[in-house]
């Protein structure tokens, strides 16, 4: 899953005026993958290109105990919770951000072939929807589109910035699905992934600065 990971960020940003800004939640949504590709760059976590790995994703993610185990994801979530809670001086904001980080693991479980773990050791888990594109692709679009619509309905502001963000997300997803697959894993692949996350986060920051939470009754609330 790629853009589907941002669905919890859209929902969380529109839950309450105390929610972190959308840019912060976009970082939270992919924090586990920020960690994975950074650790892969320095050789701590590992993957290899393997066309037989799954129908949609030719990557064998064979060593990622610190980011894609449930325990590892929980630790990343806790770290995010503490940083956001301290930065915003609001425990609820931290909890929301931490839950967005933790959402990464169950969303990955839906699509990954068995390569996820509970604590870095076997058994490896994954429902394997990457082997069923007719299910995985619509699911990603529906989840993302539904969360985006929820965010736009629950916030007020110019509609242009969110539509630009959505268009770029869909473009990146199309590249992820339909562009030629990499021939080998290495720094270029990892940096491309990190650059994609950074560009989407920058757009999310722009969107978040131009929208405000809307409560029932039509009143909009910005930052206190």
Model confidence over 76-113: pLDDT tens digits?
A: 999 999 999 999 999 999 999 999 999 999 999 999 99
Instruction: Supply the pLDDT for residue 213.
Output: 79
Per domain, the residue ranges of the chain are 3-210
**What predicted TM-score, i.e. pTM, was given to this entire model?**
0.94
Instruction: Supply the pLDDT for residue 219.
Output: 44
Give buried/exposed letters for 33-56 (b at 16+ CB in 10 A, else e): bbbbbbbbeeeebebeeeeebbeb
- Please provide the average confidence, as pLDDT, over all residues in the chain: 94
Range 116-122 contact pairs with CB under 8 angstroms and sequence separation of 24 or more: 116/68, 116/69, 116/70, 117/65, 117/68, 117/69, 117/70, 118/69, 118/70, 118/71, 119/65, 119/69, 119/70, 119/71, 120/65, 120/66, 120/69, 120/71, 120/72, 121/65
Tokens of 130: 């990457």
Instruction: Supply the pLDDT for residue 135.
Output: 98
CB atoms within 10 A of CB 134: 8
Q: What is the pLDDT of residues 47-61, one digit of tens each?
A: 999 999 999 999 999
For the chain, give the percent of residues with pLDDT over 90: 92
- Model confidence at 224: pLDDT above 50: no
Instruction: Supply the pLDDT for residue 133.
Output: 97
Residue, of 1 and 173, whose pLDDT is higher: 173
Q: What is the pLDDT averaged over residues 116-139?
A: 97
- Confidence band, pLDDT 50/70/90 cuts, at residue 218: very low
Q: What is the pLDDT averaged over residues 202-216?
A: 87
- Confidence band, pLDDT 50/70/90 cuts, at residue 215: low
CB 178 within 8 A of CB 40: no
Q: What is the pLDDT averaged over residues 5-10?
A: 98
Instruction: Supply the pLDDT for residue 1.
Output: 79
- Model confidence at 223: pLDDT above 50: no
Which of 160, 127, 105 minimizes the C-alpha distance to 54?
A: 127
For the chain, give the percent of residues with pLDDT over 70: 96
* DSSP-assigned beta bridge partners for residue 125: 116
- Confidence band, pLDDT 50/70/90 cuts, at residue 220: very low
SS3 for 218?
A: coil
């Amino acid at each position: 899953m790629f853009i589907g990971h941002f669905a919890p960020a859209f929902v969380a940003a529109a839950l309450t005026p105390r929610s972190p800004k959308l840019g912060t939640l976009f970082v939270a949504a992919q924090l586990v993958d920020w960690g994975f590709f950074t650790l892969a760059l320095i050789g701590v976590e590992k993957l290899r290109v393997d066309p037989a790995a799954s129908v949609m994703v030719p990557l064998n993610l064979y060593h990622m105990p610190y980011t894609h185990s449930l325990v590892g994801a929980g630790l990343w979530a806790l770290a995010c919770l503490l940083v956001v809670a301290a930065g915003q001086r609001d425990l609820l904001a931290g909890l929301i951000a931490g839950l967005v980080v933790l959402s990464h693991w169950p969303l990955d479980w839906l699509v990954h072939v068995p390569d996820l773990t509970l604590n870095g050791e076997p058994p490896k888990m994954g429902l394997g929807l990457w082997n069923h594109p007719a299910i995985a692709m619509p699911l990603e679009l529906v989840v993302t589109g539904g969360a985006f619509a929820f965010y736009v309905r629950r916030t007020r502001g110019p509609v242009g910035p969110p539509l630009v963000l959505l268009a770029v997300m869909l473009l990146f997803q199309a590249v992820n699905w339909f562009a030629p697959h990499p021939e080998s894993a290495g720094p270029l692949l990892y940096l491309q992934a990190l650059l994609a996350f950074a560009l989407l986060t920058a757009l999310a920051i722009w969107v978040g600065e131009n929208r405000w939470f809307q409560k029932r009754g039509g009143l909009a609330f910005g930052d206190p």
